[in-house]
Homo-oligomer: A and B are copies of this chain.
Amino acid sequence: MARPEVSKEQRQAKREAILAAARDIFAEKGFHAAGIADIAAKLDVGHGTIYRYFENKLDIFLTLYDALNEELLRIARGTHPETATCVEDYITEMQKFYAEFGGVFLREISHMRIFFDEVHADPEIRRRFDVSQVEFQKATERFLLIGRDKGFVRPELHIPSAARILNAMILDAMRASVQKESASNNLLLLAMTVIEIFTKGALAKKA
């Protein structure tokens, strides 16, 4: 029986070429409208070939989705509020997180559609989205809990709710930056406003 004619590395390289092409196609057309034929055409490869590297269309999508999701999760889990010795440090840590998270967003901006839009194209995609939301929630809760333990966060705040809300603000800021048309899609301004509201609230101080 013949040895595999291509090495593991070559196989992996091909998989990644397919993923790269698929990412563009999904970004452009969305999951449903994107066809295996489009991906194959972009690579100048027969569409049957795709099926030698991936189960099916969903498999490709989920691979892309998982990779993006993991990168974002890694960032969310990589904050270090425990090193903060004062509120200013704590806020700085939050800003650092925003900067890193936003950096990935801006890099992947044209592909974020697979993260926001196609969530419900398939039950399995939805399931993974829901799972990852829980993970993000946990990461943010951890950030807030440490802040509370250190006395930076008001103790009466309901942490799970606050975490959820903070995440919503973050994700929406990102989402806004994806929408070219929006009048308020300045990511920096949004991020600053999120932090401002989160830290100081929107209301004026009573005199």
Q: Tell me the A residues contacting B by CB distance below 8 Å.
A: 1-2, 5, 30, 32, 44-46, 87, 113, 117-121, 130, 133-134, 137, 144, 151-155, 157-158, 160-169, 171-173, 176, 179, 181-184, 186, 189-190, 192-194, 196-206
Contacts and interface: CB of A to CB of B under 8 A. Distances in A.
When all copies of this chain in the complex are counted, the total is 4
17 contacts: A87-B204, A113-B120, A118-B120, A134-B182, A134-B183, A152-B203, A153-B202, A153-B204, A154-B202, A155-B204, A164-B172, A164-B176, A165-B172, A165-B197, A166-B202, A197-B197, A200-B201
Nearest to A156: B196
Contact of A163 (B2, B44, B184): B184
Nearest to A150: B204
A158 B201 CA distance: 13
